[in-house]
Structure 1
Amino acid sequence: MVQNFAINAVVNYIMTKILISIVGPTAIGKTALSIKLAQHFGTDIISADSRQFYKEMHIGTAAPTPSELASAKHHFIHHKSVEDNYSVGDFEKEAIKMLDTLFETRDTVIMVGGSGLYVDAVIKGLDAFPKVDSSIRTSLNKKLRSEGIEALQDQLKFLDPKSYKTIAIANPHRLIRALEICIGTKQPYSSFLSSTHKERAFKTITIGLTAEREVIYDRINKRVDFMLTEGLLNEVKALSSKQHLNALNTVGYKELFKFLNDEWSLDFAVSEIKKNTRRFAKRQLTWFKRNTNTLWFDYKTDAKLIIEAITDYKKGFLT
């Protein structure tokens, strides 16, 4: 009898600890919604945006403004330098540790971010990949330098079309990681992505924001224009000496480095930022649509209706 009571107590604890994960394409309004939910539930926000981690990157990452940061307690915003080596594995460990701490005094925590791999690392845990010969990575890095990133993208498209459509192929680190697994194992990188999840001491409710493609693209274009008026070019210029760092191989930065290096005109660089951001948004949606349990809402949906849906969904965990 005592044993059953103890087991039930543990089960009830797990079932009542809820992580609300807000996902969707860039510029859709995830930050604004996360703050409204955090204020309603009286809780903190964990950022799962892999570029908002870096303290030198404010404007180009659309990081929360000082007033937004003051509206709710945020974690994993500007806590690293672009010079730090910080992996998704590091984030998984630190985020789970933070959640354990937050859940000691809260039943609900909000997580928000458009970096699908980082979101999945917290919710599901990272997949285990076999070791491959390190010379493969060396060879791929050499190819990147000599032939450019497009050559590696084409190679991944041939070896693993599924991964080509879902991973951030503009990120050379992720691209090379997928390719070295394909080459080293002679199997697609996507075949190692597990459907099994690590056990977590919480349940997750995923809220997705979306809109018609034309609306998403228009919001992206307007955001890029706003970033430029806010001083994005000066932010990038201040980081030009560090442009070789992986953290800065990011949409909005790498294109303006081309302008600063006299390779592109400013107008062309801006058009490339908009184009590459639109492509990124398309990949985000492809990634997030894989989760069939996501509750999707139009980006204009009143937060009160989303809160009602979350409350109803939570009841299923408690019965």
Structure 2
Amino acid sequence: MKNTIISVVGPTAIGKTKLAIKIAQHFNTEIISADSRQFFKEMRIGTAVPTKEELQAAKHHFIQNKSIITPYSVGDFEKEGLACIAKLHKKHSIVVLVGGSGLYVDAIIKGFDTFPKVAPEIREKLNNTLINDGISPLQEQLKLLDPKYYAVVDTENPHRVIRALEVCIGSSKPYSSFITDKKENRPFNVITVGLTADREIIYDRINKRVDIMLQEGLLEEVKSLESKKHLNALNTVGYKELFNYLNGEWTLEFAISEIKKNTRRFAKRQQTWFKKNEDTLWLDFNYDWKVFLNTLEKQVKEKTI
């Protein structure tokens, strides 16, 4: 009989943490976070790390366990995450996986696709373009060479844009053509639960979350990290916009509006990514817990029989 992973996915600010905790408490188990930004201990407010009360409500792993100065890749997370899950499955038949970073969720659930080797000078040239001209021309190039991947990737993340472009250029094929639905043979079953809502509701929740972050001291957090703004971990929504404000390039009002806009765009890409999985059990964010729990327990029973 295989163990089970219950994976909770969905766009940012939809309520994934709250649902994951409810599931973990019901099955008396623990949570693996697959949020690529919540790994970093220096980035608490801007990444919406679970509160102390939430962390106490259910044990979490991979929350603020790394420093932004330490390189950490999705491959590193796959290795460490699978090892942690194997350890947890020795005492819990069910483990909860939660996060909005599709690539990191897939690393645990599916494993990685095989990509061709690329000449290092291609990446060097792309990195020079980023330094000299910014990310915009790279985004446009990716949109031209691989519109399919452009529609789902976080286009504000230069590392991912450059990675896709170097494969497109080096192989003369779209990056997305190397992505398959073939899964690694994992030693566990998977039940994926996706939280969703009408677009207007998601956008309103995002806007309110940004306002709350600012009230909690996001600007002060960003100021404390300004000397490290060149690090890849900080080239992300909520931080890069406020760095532009601190540099005198933008007004604070405009920087805040850009955070909200870029987060809304990110949420749209998250939804596109997660909707690719036809096996996902979709749940309205305003769900009835008892009704959902009945459905979930049936799913668990079907998977483990």
Query: Is TM-score (shorter-chain normalized) higher than 0.5?
Result: yes
CA distance in 1 between partners of 2:17 and 2:289 (Å): 12
Alignment of 1:159-308 (within 5 A): 159-308=145-294
CA distance in 2 between partners of 1:218 and 1:103 (Å): 38
1:305 deviates by: 2.3
Deviation per CA, 1:236-283: give whole Å up to 9, x if none. Answer: 000000000000001000000000111100000000000000000000
Give identity over the alignment, percent.
62
1:128 deviates by: 1.3
The match for 1:124 is 110
1:308 deviates by: 1.4
The match for 1:4 is none
Q: Which runs of 5+ in 1 are unaligned?
A: 1-11
CA distance in 2 between partners of 1:278 and 1:318 (Å): 38
The alignment of Structure 1 onto Structure 2 pairs a total of residues equal to 305
CA distance in 1 between partners of 2:162 and 2:62 (Å): 26
Greater Rg by CA: 1
Q: Which runs of 5+ in 2 are unaligned?
A: none
3-state SS of paired residue (1:136): helix
Match of 1:85 among 56, 61, 71: 71
CA distance in 2 between partners of 1:111 and 1:18 (Å): 10
The match for 2:96 is 110
- What is the identity, as a one-letter code, of the residue corresponding to 1:65? T
CA distance in 2 between partners of 1:287 and 1:191 (Å): 15
- What is the identity, as a one-letter code, of the residue corresponding to 2:210? V
1:66 matches 2:52: yes
CA distance in 1 between partners of 2:96 and 2:293 (Å): 12
What TM-score do you get using the length of structure 1 for normalisation?
0.95
What TM-score do you get using the length of structure 2 for normalisation?
0.99
The match for 1:145 is 131
3-state SS of paired residue (2:106): helix
Deviation per CA, 1:89-142: give whole Å up to 9, x if none. Answer: 000000000010000011100010000000000000011111010000000001
3-state SS of paired residue (2:151): helix
Runs of 4+ residues over 3 Å off in structure 1: none
The match for 2:5 is 19
- What is the identity, as a one-letter code, of the residue corresponding to 2:35? D
1:54 matches 2:40: yes
3-state SS of paired residue (1:166): coil
Deviation per CA, 1:199-255: give whole Å up to 9, x if none. Answer: 111000000001000000000000000000000000000000000000000100000
- What is the identity, as a one-letter code, of the residue corresponding to 2:10? G
- What is the identity, as a one-letter code, of the residue corresponding to 1:230? E
CA distance in 2 between partners of 1:70 and 1:314 (Å): 25
The match for 2:142 is 156
